[in-house]
Amino acid sequence: MNPGFADPTLDAQTSFRAVLDAMAQPGRILRLHASPAQPPAGLAPAAAALLLALTDADTPVWLDAGPAAAAWGRFHAGCRIVDDPRQASFVFASGPPPSQAALAQGSAEEPHLSATLVLEVAQLAAGSGWVLRGPGIDATARLLVLGAPADFLAQRAANLAAFPCGVDTILTCGPLLAALPRTTRVEAA
């Protein structure tokens, strides 16, 4: 079994602050400095740090990283691994993710009960690519994403139409992450 955070308290805090910054400023790329040194096979460092920092027995988790990652999550975070992505509050996808429409959406009265999708992509870069608008962004932000599913933006547009319901996405790439909360409007450049 690979180890988790070197310092469970402070590493979780550092990782959470990075996600909070990312969520508050959609499209901004942040580097996680406190990721587990040896994440399990199938989980990249940033995704592994998010799993440890945000999930526990209260949050059903779906992941496609394989049995080693599932066992690692169960041991270190104490999270319940579910087979059906619809039941998960956190969905960790390192391969093709489940359709966003198939994840928990929350309800009009309780939109916070929607799933958070953590999606591993091939590349994240600032300054070019998608044009982002919405809360947290001063006018526009640019985010280049390579390796997301071809219909990712179409899925997000449908997701946005159901606001305040909808899935929040965190894109991870190795030690990097950027967030696309449900309020962010994304245009392909």
Partner 1 sequence: MTTAAGYNFGYLDENSKRMIRRALLKAVAVPGYQVPFGSREMPLPYGWGTGGIQVTASIIGPDDVLKVIDQGADDTTNAVSIRRFFAKVAGVATTERTAEASIIQTRHRVPEAPLREGQILVYQVPMPEPMFRLEPRLAETRKLHALADYSIMHIKFYEDIARTGHIATSYNYPVMVDDRYLMSPSPIPSFDNPKLHRMPALQLFGAGREKRIYAVPPYTKVRSLDFEDHPFQPIRADGTCALCGSRESYLDEIVTDDRGGRMFICSDTDYCGTRAAGQEAAE
**By C-alpha distance, which of 70, 78, 3 is closest to 43?**
70
| Residue whose CB is less far from partner 1, 41 or 157 | 157
Between residue 77 and residue 116, which ones bind partner 1 under the rule CB under 8 A? 107-112, 114, 116
- Contact, 28 vs 69, CB < 8 A? no
- Contacts with partner 1: how many residues (CB under 8 A)? 38
Rg from Cα positions in the chain? 15
C-beta of 56 vs 84, nearer to partner 1: 56
How far, in Å, CA of 116 to CA of 100, rounded?
10
Whether 33 and 12 have beta carbons less than 8 Å apart is answered as no
What whole-number distance in Å separates Cα of residue 37 and Cα of residue 167? 29
**Site mask for partner 1 (CB under 8 A), range 117-146, x = bound:** ------------------xxxx--------
Hey, which residues between 17 and 56 contact partner 1 (CB under 8 A)?
17, 19-21, 23-25, 53-56
- Binding site residues, partner 1, CB under 8 A: 8-10, 12-14, 16-17, 19-21, 23-25, 53-56, 58-59, 107-112, 114, 116, 135-138, 163-164, 168, 181-183
